[in-house]
Structure 1
Amino acid sequence: MSLKRHIPVLKVQNVLCMGSNPFWRDSNEMYTTNKRLGIHHVCLKTIDLARTVAFYIEGLGAKFLVEWGTDGGNDHAVLVDLGDGDIIEIFQSNDSFPMGIWQHVAIRTEDIEASLLKAEAAGATRRGQPMDADITAHSGEIVRMRFCFIEAPGGEMIEFIQDR
């Protein structure tokens, strides 16, 4: 299933770009921003690219950035932005996952209950109830948060974190 239904397509230097991103002046800038420190993206492999991308867009509110590769092929990939330039790269994979699967990805939220309900409506399964945590850092600072885990339709674990 093509993912092009979400946002109008624009072809830039042989890269299929879906819509625009306010964090980059053009579609190729995302590949040069890694000169700054920080995480550029997290990669996830899935056996059902369309379903996984739809979950991140519809269930987690991600923005569709770029799609490339051959439909159904192992080179078929999509970048989605979860907000603030936090990117997940999602690859179609018809093979086993030799590099393994991540343990979890933590996503910031301002309303953990609303995020959980939206994710569940898109096919996620809640793994426990939201909990409050006061974590004392080595510096003595106390980090206060509310968190809860979900399992996405593709099997990956996602943690929602809300400051409190």
Structure 2
Amino acid sequence: MTAPMLNRGLDHVALHCYDLDATVRFYTEALGFRVAQEWSAPDAGVHRCVFLDAGDDRVIELFDAASTPPGGSPTGLVPRRRPTDEERADRAALVHFAIRTDDPVTLFQRAVAAGARPLMEPSVIETSGDVPMILHVGFVHGLDDEVIEFIDRPAVRH
């Protein structure tokens, strides 16, 4: 009998959203994601949640402001108490999440046009190390203060 595979890769990234409908529009219309499923689980503190298809059976999970998902605010989000960029950066364990693309510039521009705030204009970064890489990356603050990276990079060698 074969032992079960314990780590089958990253499953999802979850965001708590100040305005769920606006965030869904941002990720679908500007960034090309597709709504995969909408659900709720009131007994688990989830008023409204949307799974966005991120490809390869991976999702971005979006919770509405009233929800109290595990790891989120125990009282829901309060829009007037949004953290500053500095407070978020100083306290956040998750630095950013990245969306792989062949065209970081276009995706960056689409995100900004849809309401994201620029953090770092797309640029080329050359790395050193075991396997030097040339990365093309740009960063924005999303509608819910999440930091999104748009990246074109070579495949990681194992």
* Alignment partners' CA distance in 1, 2:54 and 2:97: 11
Report the Cα offset of residue 146 of structure 1. Answer: 0.8
Counterpart in the other structure of 1:155: 145
Counterpart in the other structure of 2:23: 52
- Render the CA deviation track for 1:79-130: whole Å, top value 9, x for unaligned: 0012333311111133784498632111101011111121112111111221
| Corresponding residue SS for 2:47 | coil
Work out whether 1:105 is the aligned partner of 2:76.
Answer: no
Identical residues among aligned pairs (%) = 32
Counterpart in the other structure of 1:86: 58
| Corresponding residue SS for 2:55 | coil
Gaps of 5+ in 2: 75-90
Counterpart in the other structure of 1:77: 49
- Render the CA deviation track for 1:31-65: whole Å, top value 9, x for unaligned: xxx97610111111112111111111011100110
Count residues in correspondence.
Answer: 128
Going from structure 1 to structure 2, the CA distance change for 1:74 and 1:37 (only over 3 Å counts) comes to: closer
- The TM-score normalised by the length of structure 1 is 0.67
Counterpart in the other structure of 1:124: 116
Greater shift, 61-70 or 35-44, is seen at 35-44
- The TM-score normalised by the length of structure 2 is 0.70
Counterpart AA for 1:152 = G
Going from structure 1 to structure 2, the CA distance change for 1:54 and 1:147 (only over 3 Å counts) comes to: same
| Corresponding residue SS for 1:52 | helix
* Alignment partners' CA distance in 2, 1:77 and 1:158: 20
Gaps of 5+ in 1: 1-33
**RMSD between superposed Cα atoms in Å:** 2.7
* Alignment partners' CA distance in 2, 1:95 and 1:64: 19
Compare the two structures and name the one with the higher helix fraction: 2
Q: Is the 8 A contact 1:74 1:93 kept in 2?
A: no
